[in-house]
Amino acid sequence: MRPRERVQAALEHRRADRVPVDLGGTFCSGAHISVVTGLRKALGLDGGLVRVYDPYQMLGEIGPDLIEAMELDVVLLPGPKNFFGMENTGWKRWRTFDGTEVLVPGAFNTEPEPNGDILQYPEGDRSAPASARMPKGGYYFDTIVRQEPIDDSKLNPEDNLQEFGPISDEDLKYFERRADELYSGTGLAIASGIGGTAFGDIALVPAPFLKHPKGIRDIEEWYISTVTRRDYISEVFAGQADIAIENLKRFYQAVGDKIQLIWMDGTDLASQNSLFCSPDGYKELYLPHAKKLNDWIHANTGWKTIKHCCGGCESLIDGFIEAGYDVLNPVQCSARGMEPEGLVDKYGDKIVFWGGGVDTQKTLPFGTPDEVEREVKERVEIFSQKNGYVFNNIHNIQCKTPVDNVLAMYRALGRDV
């Protein structure tokens, strides 16, 4: 099978010639820039410095030569702008705090503050308040909350919709061009997505890409509001869904069925050991809006939809399935209730598992190569029992993860590395 066929088989719960493998096909299945750089060096790939295509998570671009070397099956079609609203163009050199030399977008701020921190600004505009901070010696950016005092009598749901406006003609042309290039130039499955399809994604709430965000933008305030201002949040979601449907229509006109997967929702609704909302709360507040989008996609396109949720979300999976999601990522097996055997037995023929391949909290960063190989083989055997499985580490591979362990992960999958 070619990669695109292999992934499609998994998405349809059909047997493939082998388990399809993803690295970097989504924004939650990649690797920190230092890991990608180290992996390329270990494999002897000479392609210059690696681009940081997602500065918020400091993810390194998985280039075509690395995809080929690792025999990967999925490629990401990202938008033209990153999480800070900057265009991913005008690449320039920068050295991270751990000493990795990389390429960052031209609007990326590389000038440290007096205390050594690095700030980022929405759209790279330093006349606007900074929207993210990387502490001196750090590896990632933390969002800076820019929340005006809330006056409930003046709260307007339109304020929390300002980032979900119509997708631009310029962006659509970009997506159309890149989809054509990836579809005709590779045999890979293509994953993509547009803004506005995730309801309450807490990474998006502070809107680090907006210069002056309005509405509820504080993370704690947002979570509280899902209970104390539920009518307001529901109205935001309803407006967001209407905008998203129109954007999806135009997006489909641009890319058609050249893409196979669309990243829909990155909203985390669970922690390591508990939930942020009950199953009933999910079905009341989130599900109707998610179902509206999934129903339109399944009625009008050939795409499969991805729902991301970290943590112990087992009791919410029935709701995800009812909402129409085809794929669950990242399958955090170390969280409560997320044991692989139980997940496959209960849901393996109803939803595709994308992830779960190795524990990125303990085994991959702190285990031995032998321990990594053993866990990967065990997970693949379990998750592939009902065919609906795409291998990936659990969420992104974090900084300082030993490259030898990453190579061991791929050796366990039969790669000659």
Task: Give the mean model confidence (pLDDT) for residues 254-267.
Answer: 98
Mean pLDDT of 271-299: 97
Beta-ladder partners of 51: 103
CA distance 17 to 192: 25
> From residue 386, how far is each of 125, 357, 383, 390 by CA, in Å?
49, 15, 7, 12
Write the CA distances from 237 to 157, 291, 314, integer angstroms.
Answer: 9, 12, 24
Residue 336 φ/ψ region, left for φ over 0, alpha for ψ in the -120 to 50 degree band, beta for the rest: beta
Instruction: Give every CB contact of residue 18 below 8 A, 6+ residues apart in sequence.
Output: 6, 414
Q: Can you give the pLDDT at residue 145?
A: 94
CB 314 within 8 A of CB 338: yes
Percentage of the chain exceeding pLDDT 90: 98
Is a pLDDT exceeding 90 seen at residue 416?
no
* Residue range 189-216: mean pLDDT, rounded: 96
150 within 8 A of 216, measured Cβ to Cβ: yes
Q: Note whether 115 and 136 are within 8 A (CB).
A: yes
**Model pLDDT for residues 81-124, shown as the tens digit of each residue:** 999 999 999 999 999 999 999 999 999 999 999 999 999 999 99
CB contact set of 284 (below 8 Å; sequence gap of 6+): none
Over range 159-187, report the average pLDDT: 97
Q: What is the mean pLDDT of residues 257-266?
A: 98
Tell me which CATH code domain 3-48+62-86+151-411 carries. 3.20.20.210
Express each pLDDT in 234-252 by its tens digit: 999 999 999 999 999 999 9
SS3 for 234? helix
Give the C-alpha separation, 104 to 216, whole Å: 30
How confident is the model over 153-161, as a mean pLDDT? 96
- The pLDDT > 70 percentage for the chain reads 100
**What are the structure tokens assigned to 312, written together?**
């112990």
Which two three-digit tokens encode residue 236?
A: 């935001």
Using pLDDT thresholds of 50, 70 and 90, give the confidence band for residue 47.
confident
Average pLDDT, the chain: 97
Query: Given a cut of 90, is residue 394 above it in pLDDT?
Result: yes
pLDDT of 417 higher than 90? no
Mean pLDDT of 160-166: 94
Q: Where are the domains of the chain?
A: 3-48+62-86+151-411
Confidence class of residue 275 from pLDDT cuts 50, 70 and 90? Answer: very high
